[in-house]
Amino acid sequence: MKKSVIIIGSGIGGLSTAVRLLSKGYDVKVYEKETTIGGKTNQLFQHPFTFDLTASILMNRKTYEEVFDDAGLDYNDYIDFILIDPIYRSFYPDGTVYDFSRDLVSLIQTLESISIEDSIGYMKFLAEVYERYIITNNHFLQQSFESPLDFLQLSSVISALKTKAFSTSHQLISKYIKNDKLQKFLSYQSLYVGISPYDGPSIYTLVPVISQLYGLWHLKGGMYSYVKALEKAIYQLGGTIETNYTVDEIIISDNKAIGIKSKEKEAVFADKIISNADFPYTMDTLLKNDSHKGKYTTSKLENLNYTCSTFIIYLGLKKKYPLLSVHNLYLNSNFKENIDAAFTGQLPTNPSFYVYCPTRVDDSMIANDGDCISIVVRVPNLFFKNITWNKDTVQFMRNITLSALKSIPGLSDIEENISYENYLTPEDLKNRFNSYGGTAFGLSPNLTQTNYLRPHLKSDNVKNLYFVGSSVHPGPGVSLVLLSSKLVVKEIVKDDSMNTPST
Ligand SMILES: Cc1cc2nc3c(=O)[nH]c(=O)nc-3n(C[C@H](O)[C@H](O)[C@H](O)COP(=O)(O)OP(=O)(O)OC[C@H]3O[C@@H](n4cnc5c(N)ncnc54)[C@H](O)[C@@H]3O)c2cc1C
């Protein structure tokens, strides 16, 4: 008989795990509290504009394809990749604009226009981080780390030392790059995992390096088309998804997870339970007994480190702004001070930000002659109690961000051409998706919370209970969450093969 699996949450982690398990013969049901699936990778639609709610930068394309490959499906039947070039356009307050092309010849032109020294430094930086990435990918990202022995074996220790993770991202960048604008361009991208480039381990310089070496892609229809693709595969493989089902408790009997309970709906039972809801939220709210939480009791969760959050402005524009590429960065003056603000409980006064304009390459996201843009600013998470996300805070953030955007020559009339405007705050991340503390990326992937030291994919205390998503190993961002789904499925299959009596 097929083994049954309940997945709590339909984020990228939950949906991709469902596809993989269904293809291996499991009977899978996904339960989602919201009316729409996708979790944080969601969509905001307001005719004629379509916005990706959060994730927009598609790195490491292979991890997206692999879910379909693993399930014996052809990804070409589900998703349509559009190549992006330049991968980034960066803007500065003095009017400087740089394009970072995926093409080496064009890239060198940009770099040499900065300086020969920085151009050489950039190439050396790419080479060093590329080598570290290969080690990290082989030895850490593709391993489960369920037991301390996995981490403490000699090859892992030697590999960890080779990644030289102990310096910060900014220290490593400034070793090779002297130009302040180029330093900011690289440092800003290492913020994508939600930790500061001035504080977080230098391994996260792999974010700009992977983008440069493997390229960035856009999915036709936006990142949400990946969610729709996973949904289609789940139904084809015989799985089910129930929305508007808020799980209130994971039912545990004799130290085994056996089902889920909801205040409004009937309890459901299965052989295995996987929580895709944010790990600290799962520990805090869905497990009721401290003995099941191990080292993640509510009081201990408060002492862990968490990533920052984000404030997003969505603008539907009446006209096109070809000056904007798909991925744009505005790197403001007082850069460090304003980046630090997101980690010290302050709102930035001169924000640096990312601007996403998918309609530059994708007409399917707009039904008029305008553009859809999202402006993303790093802000403190809700553990900092001094900021209240009321109308005044939103208005303050909106005004300082738009005034910086309008200072870019060519964008000065952007405010007059807004026909739709909306926002996302840390409170939305908490209230809609149960992101613990309203963080954007979950538990911080700093040195004390990575690999074996990050929450495991399998409960240490409760049998048949597993986890997938941003706050567990290997870490945040869609491509790492897709890896966590690959690893959790491997663990489940391994556990079942060990428990199957031989004939
Ligand atoms: C602003 C922002 C920008 C980002 N940009 C990028 C980017 O450009 N590129 C990139 O790769 N990544 C990006 N990310 C990260 C990426 O969005 C996340 O890592 C990824 O979407 C997380 O997926 P997940 O499956 O871990 O969790 P989630 O998306 O949080 O899914 C968890 C699901 O569980 C559901 N749930 C929670 N509690 C319950 C309950 N009690 N009962 C039932 N269901 C429940 C939630 O509603 C949700 O659907 C960004 C994130 C943010 C916030």
Q: Is residue 95 part of a domain?
A: no
Inform me whether the pLDDT recorded for 316 exceeds 50: yes
- Whether residue 474 is preceded by a cis peptide bond, meaning omega within 30 degrees of 0, is yes
Instruction: Walk across the sheet containing 4-8 and list its strands.
Output: 240-242, 27-31, 4-8, 272-275, 465-467
Q: Is residue 152 part of a domain?
A: yes
Nearest residue (by CA) to ligand 1, atom 53, is: 440
The dihedral through the CA atoms of 399, 400, 401, 404 has a sign that is positive
pLDDT greater at residue 181 or residue 135: 181
Q: Which of 61-70, 323-332, 452-461, 477-486 has the lowest mean pLDDT?
A: 452-461
Mean predicted lDDT score pLDDT of the chain? 94
Confidence of residue 83 (pLDDT cuts 50, 70, 90): very high
Q: How many CB atoms lie within 10 A of CB 447?
A: 14
Confidence of residue 148 (pLDDT cuts 50, 70, 90): low
Nearest residue (by CA) to ligand 1, atom 35, is: 9
| 139 in the same domain as 74 | no
Q: Is residue 53 part of a domain?
A: no
pLDDT at 503: 47
| 238 in the same domain as 133 | no
Encode pLDDT of 347-358 as tens digits: 999 999 999 999
- Rounded distance, CA 330 to CA 317, Å? 19
Domain that holds residue 406: 306-433
Q: Which residues line ligand 1 (CB under 6 A)?
A: 8-14, 31-34, 39-41, 54-57, 246-247, 276-278, 310, 312, 376, 429, 433-434, 440-441, 469-470, 476-479, 481
| 395 in the same domain as 473 | no
Inform me whether the pLDDT recorded for 410 exceeds 80: yes
Looking at the structure of the chain, the number of domains it has is 3
**pLDDT more than 70, % of the chain:** 95
Among the three residues 375, 410, 433, which one is the final residue of a domain in this structure?
Answer: 433
Q: Is residue 427 part of a domain?
A: yes
Q: How many CB atoms lie within 10 A of CB 76?
A: 10
| 313 in the same domain as 418 | yes
User: Residues 310, 426: contact at Cβ < 8 Å?
Assistant: yes
Inform me whether the pLDDT recorded for 486 exceeds 70: yes
pLDDT at 499: 74
Encode pLDDT of 202-260 as tens digits: 888 999 999 999 999 999 999 999 999 999 999 999 999 999 999 999 999 999 999 99
Encode pLDDT of 122-142 as tens digits: 999 999 999 989 888 877 677
Q: Is residue 319 part of a domain?
A: yes
Q: Is residue 92 part of a domain?
A: no
| 288 in the same domain as 313 | no
Encode pLDDT of 417-441 as tens digits: 999 999 999 999 999 999 999 999 9
CATH code assigned at 488: 3.50.50.60
CA dist list (Å): 102 to 3, 210, 213, 214, 287: 46, 11, 8, 8, 47
| 177 in the same domain as 133 | yes
| 471 in the same domain as 400 | no
Among the three residues 213, 236, 269, which one is the final residue of a domain in this structure?
Answer: 213
| 235 in the same domain as 180 | no
| 69 in the same domain as 118 | no
Q: What distance in angstroms lies between residue 43's CA and the mean position of ligand 1's atoms?
A: 12
DSSP-derived letter for residue 2 is P
Nearest residue (by CA) to ligand 1, atom 34, is: 9
Inform me whether the pLDDT recorded for 153 exceeds 70: no
Nearest residue (by CA) to ligand 1, atom 1, is: 54
Q: Is residue 93 part of a domain?
A: no
Among the three residues 181, 213, 245, which one is the final residue of a domain in this structure?
Answer: 213
Query: Taking residues 281-307, what's their average pLDDT?
Result: 95
Q: What distance in angstroms lies between residue 445's CA and the mean position of ligand 1's atoms?
A: 16
| 396 in the same domain as 462 | no
| 296 in the same domain as 246 | yes
Which of 401, 411, 424 minimizes the C-alpha distance to 325?
411
**Best substitution site from 41, 44, 210, 310 to test ligand 1's pocket, by max atoms within 8 Å of Cβ?**
41
Nearest residue (by CA) to ligand 1, atom 20, is: 478
Q: What distance in angstroms lies between residue 270's CA and the mean position of ligand 1's atoms?
A: 24
| 388 in the same domain as 311 | yes
Which of 270, 278, 259, 266 minimizes the C-alpha distance to 28?
270
Confidence of residue 151 (pLDDT cuts 50, 70, 90): low
Query: Taking residues 66-72, what's their average pLDDT?
Result: 98
Q: What distance in angstroms lies between residue 502's CA and the mean position of ligand 1's atoms?
A: 40
Q: Is residue 457 part of a domain?
A: yes
